[in-house]
């Protein structure tokens, strides 16, 4: 099966770093984005200059029809999809009594249903090939509790349940499903916390720093590669030791 990867939420942050790394490892890459066409096109043009077959495509992962159309466009342009990195996600801090129903639904629609939509859209290619790899991006807060992030944490725990169950369901077909659970990674997502809090979080991280998108991309790349050929249903934390 040719190496064609679809990475959701890849115009910036962890998704962008994963796209750059996977491309340099020989993957054809589709960069999905929701808003920042300019940023997605920038990643795409870097990749094309490096000789990678790349494309970018707008789709809200929460919208099933948009995700299916995206997967069809990837197939048409880059060939059957052999790797899905389900990375798109949203985060925020709220006390549970302040969580509006619309927010609850949006978190689950993007973080959990987004993965379900993307997985269903790429599976026909992988089932046909009896091969393929799915990497979900959860969070250390999917493994531990996070005060004032109960909705986010619940979505990320759901992704871990999805990963493990799907790994068992798809193992007889040769498709592997694994999960990366990042710690505090210095991307746009955490800037809302402010520099002081980020400094404290770096201190609380045993390795003494915040993670980089590249740190997480390395874990994604490991699961994607043939060296992880006997590994499925696993959750790999890339958190500098935060939750050890
Ligand atoms: P980020 O905010 O830079 O990236 C998230 C990306 O997802 C953005 O490009 C955003 O546009 C995209 N996105 C959001 N909603 C979307 C939708 N409906 N459809 C398509 N794309 C959508 O943050 P990041 O840190 O790079 O986050 C990437 C993943 O890593 C997320 O799933 C996040 O929950 C997870 N994560 C991040 C951290 C961290 O500390 N930064 C920690 C643990 C887990």
pLDDT tens-digit map of 56-95: 999 999 999 999 999 999 999 999 999 999 999 999 999 9
Over residues 108-140, the pLDDT tens digits come to 999 999 999 999 999 999 999 999 999 999 999
CA 13 / ligand 1 centre spacing (Å)? 7
Q: d(Cα 118, Cα 104) in Å, to the nearest integer?
A: 20
Per-residue pLDDT for 25 more than 90? yes
Q: Which domain, by its residues, includes 126?
A: 4-183+216-238
Q: d(Cα 14, Cα 24) in Å, to the nearest integer?
A: 15
Atom of ligand 1 nearest to the CA of 13: 26
CA 89 / ligand 1 centre spacing (Å)? 4
The pLDDT value given to residue 93: 96
CA 87 / ligand 1 centre spacing (Å)? 6
Q: Which residues line ligand 1 (CB under 6 A)?
A: 8-9, 11-15, 32, 34-35, 60-62, 87-91, 110, 114, 137, 139, 182, 184-185, 187-190
The pLDDT value given to residue 1: 80
Pocket test residue of 42, 189, 237 for ligand 1, highest count of atoms within 8 A of CB: 189
* Helix residue ranges, H only, the chain: 13-24, 37-49, 64-78, 101-108, 114-129, 150-170, 195-204, 213-224
Residue 119 belongs to some domain of the structure: yes
Q: How many domains does the chain have?
A: 1
Residue 113 belongs to some domain of the structure: yes
> Which residues is 8 bridged to in the sheet?
none
Residue 205 belongs to some domain of the structure: no
The protein residue whose alpha carbon is closest to atom 3 in ligand 1 is 13
Residue 23 belongs to some domain of the structure: yes
Residue 59 belongs to some domain of the structure: yes
Atom of ligand 1 nearest to the CA of 140: 43
CA 219 / ligand 1 centre spacing (Å)? 16
CA 12 to chain centre: 12
Over residues 180-239, the pLDDT tens digits come to 999 999 999 999 999 999 999 999 999 999 999 999 999 999 999 999 999 999 999 999
Q: What is the pTM of this model?
A: 0.99
CA 171 / ligand 1 centre spacing (Å)? 28
Sorted by sequence, the CB contacts under 8 Å of residue 172 that are 6+ apart come out as none
Q: d(Cα 119, Cα 84) in Å, to the nearest integer?
A: 7
CATH of the domain at 221: 3.40.50.720
Sorted by sequence, the CB contacts under 8 Å of residue 10 that are 6+ apart come out as 16, 18, 19, 29, 31, 32, 33, 40, 43, 56, 85, 87
Instruction: Give the tokens for residue 243.
Output: 């939750």
Atom of ligand 1 nearest to the CA of 152: 34
Residue 81 belongs to some domain of the structure: yes
Residue 135 belongs to some domain of the structure: yes
Residue 66 belongs to some domain of the structure: yes
């Amino acid at each position: 099966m040719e190496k064609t990867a679809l990475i959701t939420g890849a115009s910036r942050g962890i998704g962008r770093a994963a796209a750059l790394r996977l491309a340099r490892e020989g993957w054809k890459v589709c960069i999905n984005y929701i808003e920042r066409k300019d940023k997605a096109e920038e990643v795409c043009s870097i990749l094309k200059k490096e000789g990678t077959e790349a494309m970018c495509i707008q789709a809200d992962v929460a919208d099933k029809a948009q995700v299916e159309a995206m997967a069809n466009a990837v197939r048409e342009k880059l060939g059957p999809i052999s790797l899905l990195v389900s990375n798109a996600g949203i985060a925020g801090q709220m006390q549970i009594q302040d969580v509006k129903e619309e927010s609850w639904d949006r978190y689950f629609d993007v973080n959990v249903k987004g993965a379900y939509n993307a997985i269903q859209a790429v599976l026909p290619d992988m089932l046909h090939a009896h091969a393929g790899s799915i990497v979900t991006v959860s969070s250390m807060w999917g493994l531990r509790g996070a005060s004032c992030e109960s909705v986010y944490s619940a979505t990320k725990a759901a992704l871990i349940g999805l990963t493990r169950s799907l790994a068992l369901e798809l193992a007889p077909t040769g498709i592997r499903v694994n999960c990366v659970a990042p710690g505090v990674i210095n991307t746009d997502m955490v800037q809302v916390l402010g520099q002081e809090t980020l400094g404290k979080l770096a201190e609380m991280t045993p390795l003494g720093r915040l993670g980089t998108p590249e740190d997480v991309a390395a874990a994604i790349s490991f699961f994607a590669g043939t060296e992880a050929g006997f590994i499925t249903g696993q959750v790999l934390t890339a958190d500098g030791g935060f939750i050890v």
